[in-house]
Structure 1
Amino acid sequence: MLNVFRRLINNPIYIVSMAIIIVIIMVTLLPGLFAPYDPYKMNMDSFMSKPTWSHLFGGDQFGRDVFSRSIYGVQKSVIIASSAIALSAIIGTLLGLLSGYIGGWTNLIIMRIMDSFFAFPSLILALFIIALFGSSMANLIFAIGLVYVPIFARTVRGATLSLKDSLYVKASKALGKKGISIMLTDILPNISSILIVTFTTNVSTALLTEASLGFLGLGLPPPEPTLGGMVGQGTSYLLSAPWIVLFPGLMIAIIVLSLNILGDGLRDVLDPRISR
């Protein structure tokens, strides 16, 4: 990992993206340290007020501080997106290992189920699940996580197929190791770099999915702050108070761009197919 870090810091673009992501992690863990006001508190003196030193991002249509709400919006959006991708990584990795290693009918059944997921646009599938179960944080994590399972399943299956006939796997079989043990101790550690890259790049797309759901009114219900929800609720005031939409939208763009840049950097460093 130290070698990976050294190679990443050779590029100033990756340094900037890592610095932004570190700040995002700090905001996610300690939002109260960065937010000067209660994100739920209404103050009529700040009703749709323009950005000032006391309210950096201005006030919204209820007199709440847009900066403080954006900070807590980052926390909730990042938690939902990263938890959803963690869920999809666990389920997708297990399915991909089983499909690639066992093959046969197991592979056929798992891959046909994954194909059926790919038949629907990810946002439409997430919309259907949220409409069915409601828009709590747990349901959002489940809905978004389920949508991204096929990506991990296909990625891990491909990597497993290329490794299951390798010498060290054959040696493990000769020593009497069982299939599940081989998958978890021989194959999984050797595809960890691919999983890290896939995880990083898909957190950004999951965050966009969460923001889209919030924009459509299917994210966390008001007054909970999420970046997509803030943009959606502020569109009615786009001409009279554009800062209500502008700053949360910029935060989404910065987070997604930083994650994508870091994902590209990790891919260059970790993925042997590209390193060649």
Structure 2
Amino acid sequence: MYPIKTTELFAYLFSVCLIFTSCKQSKKTNEVTKPTTETNLKDALTFYASFNTGINADFSLGDPRMFTVPNRKAVDSAQVGLHKPDITRQEGKGKYGAGLVFTERSKGYIYYPSSKNINYSKENWSGAVSFWLSLDPATDLKPGYCDPIQITDVSYNDAAIWVDFTKENPRDFRLGVIGDRNVWNPNPEGPDNENPIFNKRLITSKKPPFGSGKWTHVLINFSGLNTEKGKASFYINGKHMGTRNAIDTPFTWDVSKSNIYLGLGYIGLMDDLSIFNRNLTDTEISTLYELKNGVQSILN
């Protein structure tokens, strides 16, 4: 055997150690992958209701329960659960399994509480709301305005975020991100929903692609509310439909009274409601629209 000097042995062992450490670090580096778009969506999620196992949310940072109330002012008489006979949860009626079925236009409301389920901020508020609808607005809806979703502590015209169908055929589909009423309309005359000041604050999609027997994805995106650079936009089937910039009207909420109302005057199907704590990128919106099994697939 060739004799090894002490210095040579030390150098040999040192080089082996370096190789081992380098390999270990390389392996560790390879194991750490960059966050995917789906991971980013999951991290931003604050509320999700698939309606597949019930009416309560599958995931929520706040109260996951659905409530029914006869009117907005009767909060003391709100009941836990779904107690409107014209609204049911039915298997096979959703985009992904079960969904909500709205059959009549009637009094009363169903909602989820906003607190913690929406990342409201008095200083710089951003977020996104996603859901699916299936209906033919021309034949399914009764006369009058219809709000598939409305998020507010007072009403549609006072610190509210919503989408609606206009009251007569052919119906437009609109996004409303409306600040404090006493700021944008300090001297009201007539109904707000007919006020030109009000209508200028809406983003309108004419001839929207809804239809009987097919599902349409709706995404509400907003950022910077309660600053001078607020912005709101909405997407239908992953396509950008319009943006409103420079929203400087404040959005003042009593969060304990704010709710996520579903199906105001709506007749049709609804499924896969999700809410995020920030505005989404175009890539994230496309990913959300293209998920094969809905938001449930990013939670697994």
TM-score (norm 1): 0.29
The structure with the largest strand share of the pair is 2
Query: Looking at CA atoms only, which structure, 1 or 2, has the larger radius of gyration?
Result: 2
